[in-house]
Amino acid sequence: MLSDFKKFILRGNAIELAVAFVVGAAFNGVVQSLVKDLITPLISAIGGKPDFSAYYFTLNHSRFAYGDFINSLVSFLMIAAAVFFLVIHPLNKLIEFTSRLKTPPDPTDKKCPECLSTIPISATRCAFCGVKLKLAK
């Protein structure tokens, strides 16, 4: 049982997941700092202090702090926008750019001119209809 546990822990997926979790936690700190230290003060400088925590209403002696919810929602939207515009969008553009530089692989199959089935490119006879084919050069 101990050797099975060792195999489980040392499998690539478990280690990759652990590394992704640690990197994700560190990245979370970077994004939180970006939003808290740069974006929120910028918004505050333009439109005033964005703090809604003082907003609430009372119903039957119960306090509903909808201002905290608004703060959380605004914070989430700012974090999501920062991640999208500073990470996801540039990464997608980089992947798109690098994929344009790659040459497509050589085809491995072709269509039969008679029955339009897919056959290997080096075939001299169609496996489906039996028509004799010219060898591809």
| Model confidence band, residue 18 (pLDDT cutoffs 50, 70, 90) | confident
Round to whole Å and give the CA distance between 15 and 98: 28
Same domain? For 111 and 91 the reply is: no
Cβ-count burial of 35 within 10 angstroms (0-12 exposed, 13-18 middle, 19+ buried)? buried
Same domain? For 93 and 119 the reply is: no
Backbone phi, psi, residue 25, to 5°: -65, -40
More confident residue, 88 or 40: 88
What pLDDT sits at residue 35? 78
Round to whole Å and give the CA distance between 28 and 42: 20
**Which own/partner pairs from 53-57 qualify as long-range (CB within 8 Å, at least 24 positions apart)?**
none
Instruction: Domain of residue 128: give its range.
Output: 106-137
Same domain? For 89 and 116 the reply is: no
Same domain? For 70 and 124 the reply is: no
Domain count, the chain: 2
Same domain? For 66 and 50 the reply is: yes
Backbone phi, psi, residue 98, to 5°: -70, -30
pLDDT at 12 over 70: no
Residue range 33-59: mean pLDDT, rounded: 77
| Model confidence band, residue 14 (pLDDT cutoffs 50, 70, 90) | confident
CA angle 99, 20, 73 (to 5 degrees): 90
- Annotate 88-113 with DSSP letters as a single string: IHHHHHHHHHHHHHSPPPPP-EEE-T
Query: What pLDDT, in 10s, does the model give residues 61-85?
Result: 898 888 888 888 888 888 888 888 8
Same domain? For 90 and 121 the reply is: no
What pLDDT sits at residue 90? 92
Query: What letter does residue 86 receive in the DSSP assignment?
Result: I
pTM: 0.52
Q: What is the CA radius of gyration of the chain?
A: 29
Mean pLDDT of all residues belonging to the chain: 83
What are 40's two structure tokens? 């929120």
